[in-house]
Amino acid sequence: MELSSEQRAIRDTVREVADEEIRPVARECDREQTFPEDAWDTLAEIDVTGLTVPEAYGGLDVDRQTYAVVNEAVAHGSLAVATALSVHCLATSCVATFGDEQLRETWLPDMVAGRPVGAFALSEPEAGSNPRQMQTVARREGDEYVIDGEKAWITNGQRSGVVIVFAKTDPDDPDSVTQFLVPKDSDGLTVGSKEEKLGLRASDTTTLILDGVRVPDRYRLTEEGRGLAAALSILTGGRVGIAAQAVGLSQAALDETVDYVTEREQFDGPIGDIQSVRHTIAEMETTVRAGRELTHAAARAMDRDEDARASASVAKYFATEGAVDVTQQAVQLHGGYGYTTEFDVERFYRDAKVTTIYEGTSQIQKNVIARSLLS
């Protein structure tokens, strides 16, 4: 994996913030189910909250490989923070790519500064992997749209100040999905309670209820019926980001485990001298390296403007399933200690599972990969 000097500098800066400001509070934030807002503000100070925003609006406008490097570095500190960042970047990408000049000038500079935080509202209680089944509807009334519906599994659901909402403009037409920018303080928009989750507990995940929410026509980001295609194009890059986060989480678990087996003594020596332990460490390292290479291959394909849908799905599928395997082995090698909250590996293990679910389950990734070969 070749990185430029600029990419290495960005990686090192973000990794320093992750290790010094995010990781030290990650365990407490997980336990208390609170988000480390101070760490978010630090990420904003180094412009990380503007990764996908053009320089004209104050953003970094990084290439996809740099985006992957940053996501991995943040996830090494906390997957919950990395997830919040990637969803914020999905929102800024939508505004930057599909918004008109007035919308970009109004929203992007502040989003680059970290506030408002962005959210991405595609999934619904009855429409997850198949968004064409969504029930949220946007009815045209004069120069406004009136939006009604319920969105589910919304990362940054409470923290966000702006939401990218997907709705049908014709309730009977699955091809009428359209994308809208909805300010969080809009009348009729209600935030549900936080979900009680297995992992990723520092990240707020909620429902959003839209009851007669009115937005002006200029807040429609895509032509009517073009919202789903727009979402899928943005999610290709998002999947590269999730793959990178899974690699960062895996690397953190591996680092913790190498330290532990080097120090932990049994049978008159460190357990790292036991062949079966050494083999497990080798397997973990192989999985981490392979996930990183696949992720960067997909990122470079996007940077070359190639069709990277299959490459992104390969990376996400391998890296996220690999994160589950690596964190499980980390818990196992820690023995009974790995099952306690005294060590971070139990949190890594709980956090890892969600990477195989959000932004397209592993089954959806396999469908994308197979379609690229067989259709």
Check pLDDT > 90 for residue 253.
Answer: yes
Check pLDDT > 70 for residue 1.
Answer: no
**Co-location of 128 and 213 in the same domain:** yes
Of residues 132 and 239, the one with the higher pLDDT is: 239
- What CATH number is attached to the domain comprising 165? 2.40.110.10
Last residue of a domain, one of 116, 144, 177: 116
**Co-location of 110 and 130 in the same domain:** no
Beta bridge partners of residue 124, listed in sequence order: 127
**Co-location of 244 and 293 in the same domain:** yes
**Co-location of 14 and 63 in the same domain:** yes
- Among candidate residues 206, 189, 188, the one with its CA nearest the CA of residue 197: 206
Residue numbers annotated as active site: 359
- Among candidate residues 317, 294, 311, the one with its CA nearest the CA of residue 365: 317
Range of the domain at 169: 118-223
| Phi and psi, residue 166, nearest 5° | -110, 130
**Co-location of 37 and 124 in the same domain:** no
Last residue of a domain, one of 174, 196, 223: 223
**Co-location of 206 and 237 in the same domain:** no
Beta bridge partners of residue 183, listed in sequence order: 162
> What is the Cα–Cα distance from 74 to 31, expressed in whole angstroms?
19
- State residue 340's pLDDT score: 97
The predicted-structure confidence for 297-347, as pLDDT tens digits, reads as follows 999 999 999 999 999 999 999 999 999 999 999 999 999 999 999 999 999
- What CATH number is attached to the domain comprising 341? 1.20.140.10
**Co-location of 261 and 361 in the same domain:** yes
The predicted-structure confidence for 273-286, as pLDDT tens digits, reads as follows 999 999 999 999 99
> What is the Cα–Cα distance from 164 to 230, expressed in whole angstroms?
12
- What CATH number is attached to the domain comprising 26? 1.10.540.10
- State residue 127's pLDDT score: 85
Q: CB within 8 A of 304, min separation 6: which ones?
A: none
What does the pLDDT average to over 70-98? 97
Which residue is it, tokens 């032509």? 223
- State residue 235's pLDDT score: 87
Last residue of a domain, one of 223, 241, 271: 223
- What's the pTM value of the predicted model, to 2 decimals? 0.96
**Co-location of 66 and 150 in the same domain:** no
Number of domains in the chain: 3
HSE on the CB side for 349, CA within 13 Å?
19
- State residue 336's pLDDT score: 97
